[in-house]
Structure 1
Amino acid sequence: MAGAGVPVPVRFRYLPACLPFHSGNRYLGLIRRNAVYLTTIFASAFAFELTFDTASNKVWDSFNRGRQWKDIKHQYLNKADDEDDE
């Protein structure tokens, strides 16, 4: 059931009921074929994952600035080099 009085084409009966049904070409172009539909979902998930990981890493780094190994590594490497020189 797509809505009140809106007939659903036969080719869309396999789609989940949670998808909005619009008669616009934008939606029909994305879900006309199953391969395009799945590719769109996976590409969107991949893009979201990259964006979310980058944003969460930047937030983590800003909260923990000066406490991470990448921030204090130079202090310990310089001490090790000085001890080797003596």
Structure 2
Amino acid sequence: MSIQGLIYNTIFKRTSTFMLAIIGGSFLFERAIDVTSDTIFETYNKGKLWKDIKHKYET
């Protein structure tokens, strides 16, 4: 059995498993985009964020 046949038989053959794959894939994609964008934002703004300057203003 080829890999295409395996993927078809496990995911695409039934609508319910196909929908679960879509939901799971969209959740993982959303989390990856969120973590990546937060990392880029924090790297670009390092030294300007509250967590970086909080020690100057706390008593």
Please give the alpha-carbon distance, in whole angstroms, between the structure 1 residues aligned to 2:31 and 2:6.
29
Instruction: Choose 1 or 2 for highest CA Rg.
Output: 1
Unaligned runs of 5+ in 2: none
For residues 12-51 of structure 1, the aligned pairs below 5 Å read 24-51=5-32
Superposition misfits of 4+ residues, deviation over 2 angstroms? none
Measured on the aligned residues, the alpha-carbon RMSD in Å equals 1.3
Please give the alpha-carbon distance, in whole angstroms, between the structure 2 residues aligned to 1:29 and 1:63.
42
What percent identity do the matched residue pairs reach? 32
- Paired residue total: 56
TM-score under structure 2 normalisation?
A: 0.83
1:58 aligns with 2:32: no
* Structure that is richer in helix per residue: 2
